[in-house]
Structure 1
């Protein structure tokens, strides 16, 4: 029986948002109102494609973007957490993120963590003629908590099901995240699993409302969390809790 740790990326593994770090290579006056409207109309992935095009038009190339990603610091203790979960505590580790493959692969390589990650689920991205091109991971309309291009809960469940068909059953799942789109997978955790949410971030705020029996959206529905919830400030908090709780 193995265990699975599922990580978000932005503001969870890294202590920033990779998309906005790269976008902010441009001064705010270089981003036209039409591009901001594209975000509201067609979603974040379309917006970021517009950002990548603008970066190219203003002289930014692959090396500039790579440097910006390389310079993002990890959340304190997160590299140690990932290494310990993988090498000491028998966890498979996956990342589910609304960032993109280039950003995540670049950063993991910089911090020598690639070998500790079993799989990354995110929006595909690659450079073509020095312009980063991004695609949606999938198109979904079922989950109202998630963006149309990426439902983390669905991805997590599909991975667990696929592993089970290959003979790998997880006795426990730990989910580690911070944002609104991390609530969907957390609601799919079961008793005995663990949701680790970053203190003072949106996911912790929403879970607090649910624990008070209050709705979190206009539907008025009150969702129930089956797993235990642990709030964290850094990766060392999580590692200490997991060791004390499950070892």
Structure 2
């Protein structure tokens, strides 16, 4: 296991669309969705849409089949598998829902690459209808974030929790990838030694560009799946090279300090600078 933690958003980052919109559009409920959209928060709207789908005879299997057709750039799958093979700790922080995310990852054959999925809960009830709930129950209390986070999820708070669970002794370095306005708050949580990968010309990129100095982490933008793979693998390689260099440097210092003085004094020509 390396010292690299890679945290992915899901919609328009791993997959190349919004999974909520994809399901609604592919099943023919776009007009109803747009009609209800102004009346409630997005997360609540998606639960309402699952009720509507069920009432019109749409089954869980129908939803799964639609999710299996989700568009994704093939280089992103390669990037995820490569990062996992190198020992990186891969996690997801997404404002989708666990049913959509797990169904897609399993279909793509990459579910085992991730150690943790943080997203809105979703389960199939006794009536075989998908129920979607908020990650933060905003009906009870606000998450209190002043950044542009939706009421049901502050990704910054999730990042705080992940960072708190990582020991300082492990010397972990983070790479965060995202596209939406909700990815701005977590981007502010990282240190100078970490990396943020915003999708260029998407909401998170626009927010960062307003004042890049607010983001302490190093910023590396990307446009599509091919560029995501290129940038991500370069950053992984950079961190590993720096880690190896630090290890070699520390090892050399340790060997120098442990060398007995009486062994070096008679052999001045053997002393290395």
Q: Normalised by the size of structure 2, how large is the TM-score?
A: 0.78
Give the Å deviation of 1:32: 7.3
Structure 1 counterpart of 2:143? 141
Q: Distance in 2 between matches of 1:170 and 1:12?
A: 26
- Structure with the larger strand share: 1
Give 1:76 deviation, angstroms.
Answer: 4.1
Aligned residues: 229
How big is the shift at 1:52? 0.6
Report the CA distance shift for 1:55/1:84 in structure 2 as closer, same or farther (over 3 A). same
Q: 1:5 maps to what in 2?
A: 6
Separation in 2 of the partners of 1:79 and 1:198?
Answer: 17
Counterpart in the other structure of 2:95: 98
Q: Which residue of 1 aligns with 2:260?
A: none
Matching of residue 114 in structure 1 with residue 111 in structure 2: yes
1:239 to 218, 232, 243: 232
**Alpha-carbon displacement from aligned partner over 1:139-193 (angstroms, at most 9, x marks no partner):** 34321221121111110110221232xx873431000011100010101110110
- Change in 2 beyond 3 A, CA 1:92/1:200: same
Q: Residues 168, 20 of structure 1: CA spacing in aligned structure 2 closer, same or farther, 3 A cutoff?
A: farther
Q: How does 1:121-140 map to 2 (within 5 A)?
A: 121-128=118-125, 129-139=127-137, 140=142
Q: 2:54 matched to 1:64?
A: no
Structure 1 distance, partners of 2:232, 2:215, is 22
Which whole-Å deviations, capped at 9, do the CAs of 1:106-160 have from their partners, x for residues lacking one? 0110011111100000011011212110111123432122112111111011022
Partner Cα separation in structure 2 for residue 210 and residue 5 of structure 1: 24
Query: Contact 1:81/1:238 (CA < 8 Å) preserved in 2?
Result: no
Task: Give, in whole Å, the separation in 2 of the partners of 1:48 and 1:92.
Answer: 30
Q: SS where residue 189 of structure 1 aligns?
A: coil
Larger Rg: 2
Structure with the larger helix share: 2
SS at match of 1:77: helix
Q: 1:176 to 1:192 in 2, by over 3 A?
A: same
Aligned to 2:266: none
Q: What is the TM-score when the length of structure 1 is the normalising length?
A: 0.86
Matching residue within 149, 155, 164 for 1:161: 164
Aligned pair partner of 2:219 in 229, 233, 237: 229
Question: 1-side partners of 2:112 and 2:169: how far apart?
Answer: 19
